[in-house]
Structure 1
Amino acid sequence: MASSGGYSINSAQDEESDENTPLLTGNGQPAGPKAAPQCCSVRWNLAILMYFGLAVVYGLRVNLSVAMVAMVNNTYPQPSLNHTIGQECPVPIPSIDNSTQTPDQPDGIPQFAWDSETQGMLLGAFFFGYLLTQIPGGYLSGHFGGSLFLGGGVLVTAALTLLTPVAAEMGAYWLFALRALEGFGEGVTFPAMMAMWARWAPPLERTGLITISGAGASFGAFVAMPLTGYICHALGWPAVFYCCGGAGCVWAIFWFALVSDDPRTHPRISECERDYITQSIGPQAGAHGWSVPLLPMLLSVPLWAIIVTQMCANWSYYTLLTSLPTYMDTVLHFDLRQNSFLSSLPYLGSWLFSVLSGVVADILLEKELLSTTTVRKSFTVIGLLLPAAFLVAVGFSGCSGLLAVLFLTISSTLGGVGAAGVFINQIDIAPRYAGMLLGITNTFGTVPGVLAPIAVGYLTKDRSLLGWRNVFLVSAAVSACGALVFALFGSGKVQSWAVPTKTHAEEEESPCSSDP
């Protein structure tokens, strides 16, 4: 967990604007109340509930990636005869009967003749809808509060997921439309999460709270992939969507019963914690109103640095998220249960490193070792360049399943470092508009979710090693470009257009403060 000590000035933050942050008084001395305890606090309980909510969100998102292996009846085009046998991976003898054929399904479970291009379109369909609600979701969450939009987004997506088997039997176009609608519902969740943290996260706990809640996404992918494989094998692929949809509906009940938009309105928060949160965040915690500074946003170089970098980072992330099970199946010839488990391993390391990166980042800021800008740039560059190097290694691992899984796991694990970098930078440059900014950056960042599966389907239509090598090389190159852009143009400074009008009212003394 992030440190719970009192506030301190970051001496390295020469480029940060003191008057733009509630952490400091005008004379450079620590400001605000003494930090309220973290253990059993409402703000950390909120992080845990968000953690499980985002785990459900990613379970709803990735279930089709694994279930697709069981849904398709192996009517793929055969590998091109132009490739020599030495370039293709032989099927292991013990798996010869089940690796190259569709996994067995219980009697009565339908399977479909979808080629690789159709599969790529279906896997990318979610993101067509996901694109449309990011900005409206962030804008409305910033004005009204994020709890309704986050909880409602998960509930709507879960309810639609329950209809997946029916849509699949009706045809690929119906399934495409349903997945797009699921993306439409889920698109509001991450902007709503950021809008809530703008009101709930004290600045020196901000990175830890956001990265821990966001780590639920990696945890959800890690759990959902093997669980989906075992459910497909034991009960048939339709059961996957019933289980995932049901889990989302149950989570929504807890969310609406326990969560409030603002610390001031939470019925069970202590006065100590409430005043600690509200006084440490200051006027930045308020709703942004109906009017927002659109033109300054459009001209903001730090915002465009976030946009470009997230697009680059998400290209490789969505490539693995949607297409890794297919790679495990068609190239490495793992059976369904092996496939789902090994496909989930990269997300275990990513989950661990994303949590640790948030803790380390908060310590670096509180101990005055690095500025916010330096922290965000350092974690972003490490979280993009090192994973890119290991993606290149995956491309040249050939038919070695051991090396491929090892390099993929190391790549995704190191990628978790970026969770404390560019992915939470919106709340640094404009806390008041953090939800809307995340909606904007996620809208652009979702474009790779649409294009990457289609590109993978095109590059790998002959199921060759060369095609998959190109997939990993392209992903690595795009990630490296993102690291360069953020290193040059990223910032952790609150932008002038994001500073609210100062209030002249005197703040009440916090009961947590030890000062008279």
Structure 2
Amino acid sequence: MQMDNQVPPKKVPTFCSLRYGLSFLLHFCNTIIMSQMICLNLTIVAMVNRTNPHGLPNTSTKELLDNIKNPVYDWSPEIQGLIFSSIFYGVLFTQVPVGYLSRIYSIKKMVGSALFLSSLLCLFIPLAAETGVTFVITCRVVQGAAQGTVSAAQHAIWIKWSPPLERGRLTSVSLSGAGGCALSLLWFVLFYDDPKDHPCINISEKEYITSSLMQQVSSSRQSLPIKAMLKSLPLWAISFGTFAFQWTNNIMILFMPVFLNSKLHVSIKQNGLLSAVPYLLAWMIGIIAGETADFLLSRNILSIVIIRKLFTTLGLLLPAFFHMCLCYLSSSVYGSIIFLVLANATGSFCLSGIIINALDIAPRYYGFLKGVTNLIGMLGALISSSLTGVILGQDPESSLFKTFYLIVAVNVISLIFCLVFIKAEIEDWAKEGQHTRL
């Protein structure tokens, strides 16, 4: 039975329900993870904003005292790009293993432990910076592995907790964000792997969730149909779309503070405020997109495949458009900031498009497939952040144009592939009763 034709039983309250509470809990987890990932991208503006390395003999006494309080490091743009991208190495190597293990082990323990470790490592970054750039990179790699565990394992939650007609809004609420140690303890108390095990869930909500997923969720752990997955063009469409999304998203996340500082010459205080605006707008767009997608689906206004294509188009094409506006239409500081914010925020439309599409085509393998597609997405993030650092170091004058042109090219090519091959029906190899072997 396909999701398009499923009519859930008696519906229970939404925002006052446990499943929505879980979605908001995940939202705060992702907000903490995202803040830990990007905090160094903003502080590095102050950490490298002087030409003399701290502690040199020709530095005045006043400057030396200031540097002791606020250390400044002689990190080139290439080194900064390496520091930015190092976190993705850790994320990269955890996606597939965690996606696979999420089918076997407790997601509650995996996410909670990884969140605690990432938060702990975040506290060690200043000490690592004093020790040397190698230690900063090492710390960021390990932190990335912990964050990758959180980002990959959490997707498997919706296999058991998300009714088909509410997937857009539940996932958009949880993903629209990106006190860690305290929150990880709260996670262990409030989250349960399966709705039937939660001591506080309402009986009607439990029945609503389990009955709506009856045709899609199986407790059996069959071997993964790897060959069929490799031949699946819809899965490749998801992979290319995720690659483009992460390519664009991470360039903007990592280098927006540097852009504001070097090109627009804003102060550190203004930089922090302006860097936060895209995340607020992205959060709003993500929520609106999820609500709109589920509304269009529940009212049978559009089919699932059209909805996925529509929001994928918005999430990849709008950032490309606003990047071109940055190149040719930003004649003032305010115009540049507006286009920069829109280019960064509009990618959130993808949350109700390509980012959730694997749950449509293979819900029983969703955790593993999110690990695989996230791996490909992290390759995009890793390549884009490293390449941008090299471009900034070699050609400061035209570097931004080259970076933005690359974003447009990657997004447009990936979007064309997605529009041709995106599907929303459960693939044959993902249906109950199929026994395709490795």
Q: TM-score range by the shorter chain?
A: over 0.9
The one-letter amino acid paired with 1:61 is: M
Letter of the structure 2 residue corresponding to residue 331 of structure 1? K
Any residues of structure 2 matched to 1:446-465 within 5 Å, and which? 446-461=378-393, 464-465=396-397
Q: Contact 2:330/2:339 (CA < 8 Å) preserved in 1?
A: no
The question of whether the paired residues in 2 share the 8 Å contact of 1:288 and 1:433 is answered with: no
Q: Which residue of 1 aligns with 2:341?
A: 409
Q: 1:463 to 1:332 in 2, by over 3 A?
A: farther
Residues 353-387 of structure 1 show CA distances to partners (whole Å, capped at 9, x for unaligned) of 11001001001111111111111011101221122
Q: 1:501: Cα distance to partner?
A: 3.5
Counterpart CA distance in 2 for 1:105 and 1:48 is: 41
CA distance in 2, matches of 1:430, 1:23: 16
Q: 1:93-108 residue pairs with structure 2 within 5 A? A: 107-108=68-69
How far, CA to CA, are the matches of 2:344 and 2:45 in structure 1? Answer: 22
Distance 1:22 1:329, change over 3 A: closer
Q: Alignment partner for residue 204 of structure 1, among 150, 165, 184?
A: 165
Report the counterpart of residue 478 of structure 1 in structure 2: 410
Gaps of 5+ in 1: 1-18, 25-29, 77-101, 218-246, 503-516
Corresponding residue to 2:79 among 101, 118, 122: 118
Distance 1:20 1:385 in 2: 29
Pick from 11, 28, 35: which aligns with 1:52?
28
Distance 1:163 1:411 in 2: 32
Change in 2 beyond 3 A, CA 1:429/1:377: same
The 8 Å contact of residues 77 and 393 in structure 2, kept in 1 or not, is answered as yes
User: Which residue number in structure 2 is paired with residue 109 of structure 1?
Assistant: 70
The residue number in structure 2 matching 1:396 is 328
In 2: Cα distance, 1:151 partner to 1:284 partner: 27
Which residue is equivalent to 1:148?
109
**Contact (CA 8 Å) 2:290, 2:352: kept in 1 or not?**
yes
Counterparts of 1:286 and 1:263, CA distance in 2 = 14
Does the Cα contact within 8 Å between 1:51 and 1:216 map onto a contact in 2?
yes
Q: Percent identity?
A: 33
Residue 43 of structure 1 is aligned with which of 19, 29, 33? 19
Match of 1:360 among 292, 304, 318: 292
Q: Does 1:127 align with 2:127?
A: no
Tell me the distance in 2 between the aligned counterparts of 1:39 and 1:72.
45
SS at match of 2:385: helix
Q: Which AA in structure 1 matches 2:15? A: C
Q: Distance in 1 between matches of 2:4 and 2:309?
A: 22
Matches within 5 A, 1:486-505: 486-501=418-433
Alpha-carbon distance, 1:484 to partner = 1.0
Asked if the contact 2:86–2:140 (Cα under 8 Å) also holds between the matched residues in 1, the reply is yes
Give the one of 205, 222, 225 matched to 1:273: 205
Structure (1 or 2) with the larger CA radius of gyration? 1
SS, match of residue 285 in structure 1: coil
1:106-157 Cα deviation digits (max 9, x unpaired): 7533221111100000010000111011111111112234222222221111
1:470–1:265: structure 2 CA closer, same or farther, 3 Å change rule? same
Equivalent position amino acid for 1:166 in 2: L
CA distance in 2, matches of 1:283, 1:249: 38
Question: 1:343–1:39: structure 2 CA closer, same or farther, 3 Å change rule?
Answer: closer
- Cα 1:359–1:248 change in 2 (3 A) is same
Q: What RMSD in Å do the two structures reach over aligned CA positions?
A: 2.0
TM-aligned CA deviation for residue 74 of structure 1:
2.9
What is the deviation of 1:190?
2.2
CA distance in 2: counterparts of 1:400 and 1:315, whole angstroms? 27
The 1:201/1:23 distance shift into structure 2, 3 A limit, reads farther
Counterpart in the other structure of 1:74: 50
- For residues 401 and 296 of structure 1, do their structure 2 counterparts lie closer, same or farther at Cα, with a shift above 3 Å needed? same
Residues 45-97 of structure 1, C-alpha deviations (whole Å, 9 max, x = no match): 00110111110010011011001112225339xxxxxxxxxxxxxxxxxxxxx
Q: What is the aligned partner in structure 2 of residue 348 from structure 1?
A: 280
Shift of 1:492: 0.9
Asked whether the equivalents of residues 381 and 484 of structure 1 are also in contact (C-alpha less than 8 Å), the reply is no
Give ranges in structure 2 of 5+ residues lacking alignment: 53-62
- How many residue pairs end up in the alignment? 423
**1:55 partner letter:** T
Residue 34 of structure 1 and its aligned partner are, at CA, apart by 1.0
SS at match of 2:401: helix
Q: Which amino acid aligns with 2:28?
A: F
State the AA in 2 paired with 1:421: G
For 1:288 and 1:300, the matched residues in 2 are separated by 22
Shift in alpha-carbon separation, 1:493–1:22, aligned structure 2, 3 A: closer
Aligned residue number for residue 190 of structure 2: 258
Aligned to 1:295: 227
Letter in 2 for 1:162: L
Aligned with residue 441 of structure 1, among 358, 365, 373: 373
2:229 counterpart letter in structure 1: M
* Residues 223-262 of structure 1 mapped to structure 2, 5 A cutoff: 247-262=179-194
SS in 1 for 2:216: helix
> Does the 8 Å CA contact 2:252/2:344 hold for their aligned counterparts?
no
Instruction: Report SS of the residue matched to 2:393.
Output: coil
Query: Closer, same or farther in 2 for the Cα pair 1:288/1:323, shift >3 Å?
Result: farther
Partners of 1:249 and 1:285 in 2: CA distance: 32
Task: Provide the secondary structure at the position in 2 that maps to 1:144.
Answer: coil
* Contact 2:177/2:279 (8 A) holds in 1: no
Conservation of the 8 A alpha-carbon contact between 1:22 and 1:280: no
Residue type of the alignment partner of 2:260: M
Equivalent-residue separation in structure 1 for 2:314 and 2:13 (angstroms) = 32
Q: CA deviation at 1:288?
A: 5.1
Q: Which moved more, 1:262-271 or 1:450-459?
A: 450-459
User: Corresponding residue for 1:507?
Assistant: none
Task: Quote the offset at 1:476 in angstroms.
Answer: 1.7
Contact 1:75/1:114 (<8 A) preserved? no
Offset at residue 285 of structure 1 (A): 2.8
Which amino acid in the other structure matches residue 158 of structure 1?
A: S
Is 2:397 the partner of 1:421? no
What's 2:148 paired with? Answer: 187
- Identify the residue that residue 60 of structure 2 maps to in structure 1: none
Between 67-76 and 421-430, report the one with greater CA deviation: 67-76
CA distance in 1, matches of 2:407, 2:142: 27
Q: 1:189 to 1:105 in 2, by over 3 A?
A: farther
Q: TM-score, normalised by structure 2?
A: 0.92
**2:4–2:303 Cα contact (<8 Å) kept:** no
Could you tell me how far apart the structure 1 residues matched to 2:294 and 2:90 are?
35
2:162 maps to amino acid: A
Residue type of the partner of 2:372? Answer: I
